[in-house]
């Protein structure tokens, strides 16, 4: 008989959270540790990663900090070799955005967004995917966005990278599925993180985003954790190549007008 109460347990597993120093990555690191995983908090800002680790350890969890620039393939390989443990779960959260009309985006701005959001994710998936393929197990979770499906003016390059991330994840899922490795993507809606501070600082813009979702509010980073735990654990053992929207209903409803019913 199946022990369904153990479906979400992550004891004995090592989870690498890239972007674990802040925002969704930080919340994810706490959540994975709460379910028993040993969490490696990787971030380009080591101080932030260490702060996350300290709070996890204070709560009785197991964690370590790791300096990592996911734009550098050699740095990724070196970091993975120095971890000293087999990575069972990868969560990739970092991304940046440049909000401008497409015709005003410079070459440098285009390259900067693509270099982290798309190329960096590729480098990370390639390195960790090779290791998981050899061990014939693992769960890879990449963060996309609602912008992979729906857009607004000023989001061209960001949206393109987020759609690209989904297709990379689906392709890797198809390639590594026979080897026991699952790959999925999460598409958040609007979340209160450093990336969205520009919107939060403009009350009308902030309220308009809240009104667009069915739940009539923004999400907190902690509200992404349930989806991560699900995809990291045996609860999703038959789920791969999927895009899970955690968007408060943003992509489900038209949102332009509430008809009188």
Helix (H, G, I), strand (E, B) or coil at 100: coil
Q: For residue 5, is it within any domain?
A: no
CATH code, 27:
3.40.50.720
Does the annotation mark 158 as catalytic?
yes
Q: For residue 258, is it within any domain?
A: no
Q: For residue 58, is it within any domain?
A: yes
| Residue tagged active-site, from 4, 158, 230, 238 | 158
Number of domains in the chain: 1
Q: In sequence order, what are the residues at sequence separation of 6 or more whose Cβ sits closer than 8 angstroms to the Cβ of residue 224?
A: 24, 27, 28, 143, 186, 188, 191, 246
pLDDT digits (tens), the chain, 261 positions: 678 989 999 999 999 999 999 999 999 999 999 999 999 999 999 999 999 999 999 999 999 999 999 999 999 999 999 888 899 999 999 999 999 999 999 999 999 999 999 999 999 999 999 999 999 999 999 999 999 999 999 999 999 999 999 999 999 999 999 999 999 999 999 999 877 777 888 888 889 888 999 999 999 999 999 999 999 999 999 999 999 999 999 999 987 777 788
Q: For residue 261, is it within any domain?
A: no
Q: For residue 259, is it within any domain?
A: no
Q: For residue 256, is it within any domain?
A: no
Q: For residue 253, is it within any domain?
A: no
Helix (H, G, I), strand (E, B) or coil at 219: strand
Separation between Cα atoms, residue 212 and residue 191, nearest integer Å:
13
Give me the domain span that covers residue 31.
Answer: 10-245
DSSP labels, 239-252: --S-EEEESTTTTT
Helix (H, G, I), strand (E, B) or coil at 84: coil
Q: For residue 49, is it within any domain?
A: yes
pTM here? 0.95
What's the residue count for the chain? 261
């Amino acid at each position: 008989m199946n022990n369904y109460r153990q479906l979400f347990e992550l004891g004995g597993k090592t989870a690498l959270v890239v972007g674990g120093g802040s925002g969704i990555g930080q919340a994810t690191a706490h959540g994975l540790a709460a379910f028993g995983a040993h969490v490696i908090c990787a971030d380009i800002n080591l101080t932030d990663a260490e702060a996350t680790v300290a709070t996890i350890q204070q709560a009785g969890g197991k964690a370590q900090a790791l300096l990592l620039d996911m734009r550098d393939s050699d740095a990724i390989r070196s970091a993975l070799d120095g971890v000293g443990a087999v990575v069972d779960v990868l969560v990739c959260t970092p991304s940046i955005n440049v909000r401008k009309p497409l015709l005003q985006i410079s070459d440098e701005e285009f390259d900067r967004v693509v270099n982290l959001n798309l190329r960096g994710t590729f480098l990370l998936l390639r390195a960790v995917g090779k290791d998981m393929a050899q061990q014939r197990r693992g769960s890879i979770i990449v963060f996309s966005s609602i912008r992979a499906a729906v857009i607004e003016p000023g989001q061209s390059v960001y949206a393109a990278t987020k759609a690209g991330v989904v297709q990379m994840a689906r392709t890797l899922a198809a390639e590594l599925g026979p080897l026991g490795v699952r790959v999925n993507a999460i598409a958040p809606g609007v979340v209160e993180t450093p990336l969205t501070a520009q919107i939060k600082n403009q009350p009308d813009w902030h309220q308009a985003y809240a009104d667009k979702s069915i739940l009539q509010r923004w999400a907190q980073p902690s509200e992404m954790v349930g989806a991560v735990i699900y995809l990291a654990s045996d609860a999703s053992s038959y789920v791969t190549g999927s895009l899970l929207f955690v968007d408060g209903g943003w992509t489900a409803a038209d949102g332009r007008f509430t008809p009188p019913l």
